[in-house]
Structure 1
Amino acid sequence: MITPGRDGTTLHPAQVPVQTKLAAAWTSFMFFYVYVDLLGLYKPGVVEDILKGKVFTFDISQTFAVTALALTAVPVLMILLSTALPIRANRVTNLVVAILLVPYMAFNVFGGEWLVYYGLGLALEMVILGFILRTAWTWSATTPAASVNSYSQLQHS
Structure 2
Amino acid sequence: MTTTTNLEPSPVNVRIKISALWVTVLLLFAFVDIFGLYRPDVRAAIEAGEIGGFAVDQVFLFSAVAYVVVPSLMVFLVLVLRPRVNRIVNIVLGVVYALTIVAAALGEWGYYLFASALEIGLLAAIVYYAWTWPKEPARGSTPGRTEVP
TM-score w.r.t. length of structure 2:
0.84
Equivalents in 2 of 1:32, 1:69: separation in Å? 15
| Counterpart AA for 1:130 | A
For 2:123, what is the secondary structure of its paired residue? Answer: helix
| Counterpart AA for 2:73 | L
Deviates more, 1:92-101 or 1:45-54: 45-54
Could you say which residue in structure 1 is the equivalent of 2:135? 141
Unaligned runs of 5+ in 1: 144-157
Give the CA deviation at 1:142.
2.6
Could you say which residue in structure 1 is the equivalent of 2:77? 81
Give the CA deviation at 1:119.
1.2
Could you say which residue in structure 1 is the equivalent of 2:146? none
| Rg larger for | 2
Could you say which residue in structure 2 is the equivalent of 1:126? 120
Name the count of aligned residue pairs.
134
Could you say which residue in structure 1 is the equivalent of 2:63? 67
Q: How does 1:8-157 map to 2 (within 5 A)?
A: 11-110=7-106, 112-114=107-109, 116-142=110-136
Give the CA deviation at 1:121.
1.2
Equivalents in 1 of 2:108, 2:103: separation in Å? 14
Unaligned runs of 5+ in 2: 138-149
Equivalents in 1 of 2:66, 2:58: separation in Å? 12
For 2:40, what is the secondary structure of its paired residue? Answer: coil
- % same residue: 34
Q: CA RMSD in A?
A: 1.5
TM-score w.r.t. length of structure 1:
0.80
Give the CA deviation at 1:45.
2.6
